[in-house]
Amino acid sequence: DAGITQSPRHKVTETGTPVTLRCHQTENHRYMYWYRQDPGHGLRLIHYSYGVKDTDKGEVSDGYSVSRSKTEDFLLTLESATSSQTSVYFCAISDLIMNTEAFFGQGTRLTVV
C-alpha cells in the first residue's frame, strides 16, 4: 500500500465549527488531492496541490481551503462546517500529472450535525 495516512478517520462536528482534515504521505509524491464522495455523485475534486505552497481549486471548492507547507502534508479546512459537507473525504497522491494511477487514502468520514 502507498504510504498515505488520513486523520482523523471519523469525526462528528457541529455546524459552524472549523474542521481540519490531514493527509500525510511518505512517498514524496509531488501531487496531492482532496476528493469527497457522496451517494449519487461519485468522487468530486475539492482542491489539489502540485507542490509546496502551490494549490488550486477543483470542482467543488466552495467552503473549503487547503494548505501545503511541506511535501508530505496536505490539509483540508472547513472554515465553518455545514451539514452539506457531511461526506467521506479522500486524499490522493500521484507523482506525475495523473496520467498514471493515483493512490488513495482510507478516507475520513465527517458528519456535521
List residues near another protein by CB under 8 A. 4, 31, 33, 35, 40-45, 48, 50, 56, 58-59, 90, 92, 96-107
- Least spacing, CB of residue 97 vs another protein, in Å: 4
Nearest CA to 73 out of 107, 26, 39, 40 is that of 26
- Least spacing, CB of residue 113 vs another protein, in Å: 21
Query: 508530505: which residue's cell?
Result: 72
- By beta-carbon proximity to another protein, the closer residue of 1 and 14 is 1
What distance in Å separates the CA atoms of residue 56 and residue 5, rounded to the nearest whole number?
A: 22
Cβ-contact 105, 34 below 8 angstroms: no
- By beta-carbon proximity to another protein, the closer residue of 14 and 100 is 100
- By beta-carbon proximity to another protein, the closer residue of 12 and 17 is 12
- By beta-carbon proximity to another protein, the closer residue of 30 and 77 is 30
40-70: b (≥16 Cβ within 10 Å) or e: eeeeebbbbbeeeeebeebebbeebebebee
